[in-house]
Amino acid sequence: MVGDEGRTMSTTTTQPGSGPAAGAVFDAGETIAHGAVHLDVTDLPRALAFWRDLLGLTDLGEADGVARLGAGGRELIVLHAGAERPPRRGHSGLYHVALHLPDAREFARVIARLAAARYPQAPTDHIFSQATYLDDPDGIGLELTLETPERVAEMSVSGAEFRIVDTEGRLRRPVEALDTQAVFSHLEEDADLDQPLPAGTKVGHVHLHVGDLEAANAFYRDQLGFEEHTFLLLGMADLHTGGRFPHRMALNVWQGQGASQPPAGTAGLRHFTIVARDAAGLAAIQSRLEAAGIDLEADGDAHFARDPSGNRFQLAAA
């Protein structure tokens, strides 16, 4: 059960600025959030034309082949030049990064902007969220999301069956076509589609390809502190972080059991950022990793680790 019509969501955010925790936004009750996601790209100007000029992220600075992008002064996506080839099938890595919009109007605005530019996208209704899916010029996956858990009265998983009942009592599928006309009703007729993504935009979830679903699910649950939500026989797992939204970390084996990391020089995930709510939470994560024999990589003041499939992440505290 995730619906609660009488509940309002409150958030706290870090102060604007650079750094691994600068993009983190915590919903009420959450102990972990996502910071900036770093991506390797083959053509930085072309990538900026997508992530900044089309999508609407704000330029926070560029130097030495690294471009920092965000919203409201918070760092969300960092692009690194130098990749030599687009992503390949059959490997672990990023399925998509999800940027969550703060309200229905801003979600409608970005979908309308993409539609006006005739950029390919796939609007989808998951009931607990509304989304549209697209790829950047390298083929790196992106989801734009509006969280709508208030539409859900009941959600359960049994084997391969995902059951959702909405607040009107209707049995719904977890993947339905999005009613874009209803979405666009939140926009004024003369809405300015060229506004940048708003300050409330955040990295809401990260969805990874992994080589072993059970091992990855146990890792993010037991070592990093995510809470298990669903484990599907269809080869996907969802975890959350204690708030009302069930989909903060997603894992799948859709690139094959035992899928390894892609060859060096491949565009895609460089690393993502896990942000603990405070220093004590960060210390607890580090302690669990060390107790499990998982190496922490130090790079200056930053600390990194890898999940069982080799996906790299940075640890930080808000």
CA distance linking residue 176 with residue 215, whole number of Å? 30
Give 20's pLDDT tier (boundaries 50, 70, 90).
low
pLDDT score recorded for residue 159: 67
Bridge partners (DSSP) listed for residue 202: 100
pLDDT beyond 60 at 29: yes
Q: Within 13 Å of residue 234, how many CA atoms lie on the same side as its CB?
A: 9
SS3 127: coil
pLDDT, tens digit (0-9, with 9 covering 90-100), for 62-104: 999 999 999 999 999 999 999 999 999 999 999 999 999 999 9
> Shortest CA distance to 46 belongs to which of 83, 73, 97, 14?
83
CB 225 within 8 A of CB 285: yes
pLDDT score recorded for residue 6: 30
pLDDT, tens digit (0-9, with 9 covering 90-100), for 153-180: 998 877 667 889 999 999 999 899 999 9
One of 3.30.70.20, 3.30.750.24, 3.20.20.70, 3.10.180.10 is the CATH number of 11-317, namely: 3.10.180.10
CB within 8 Å of 63: residues ≥ 6 apart: none
Average pLDDT value over all residues in the chain:
91
C-alpha distance across the termini of the chain, in Å: 29
pLDDT, tens digit (0-9, with 9 covering 90-100), for 107-149: 999 999 999 999 999 999 999 999 999 999 999 999 999 999 9
pLDDT beyond 90 at 18: no
CB 289 within 8 A of CB 219: no
pLDDT beyond 70 at 16: no
Place of tokens 């499990």: 292
294 class by beta-carbon count within 10 Å (0-12 exposed, 13-18 middle, 19+ buried): middle
CA distance linking residue 214 with residue 139, whole number of Å? 27
CB 25 within 8 A of CB 306: no
Please, what's the b/e burial string for 234-263 (b: 16 or more CB within 10 A of its CB; e: otherwise)? ebbbbbbbbbbbbbbbbbbbebeeebebbe
Please state the pTM of the whole predicted model: 0.92
Q: Hey, where are the domains in the chain?
A: 11-317
pLDDT beyond 70 at 266: yes
pLDDT score recorded for residue 19: 65
**Residues above pLDDT 70, as percent of the chain:** 92
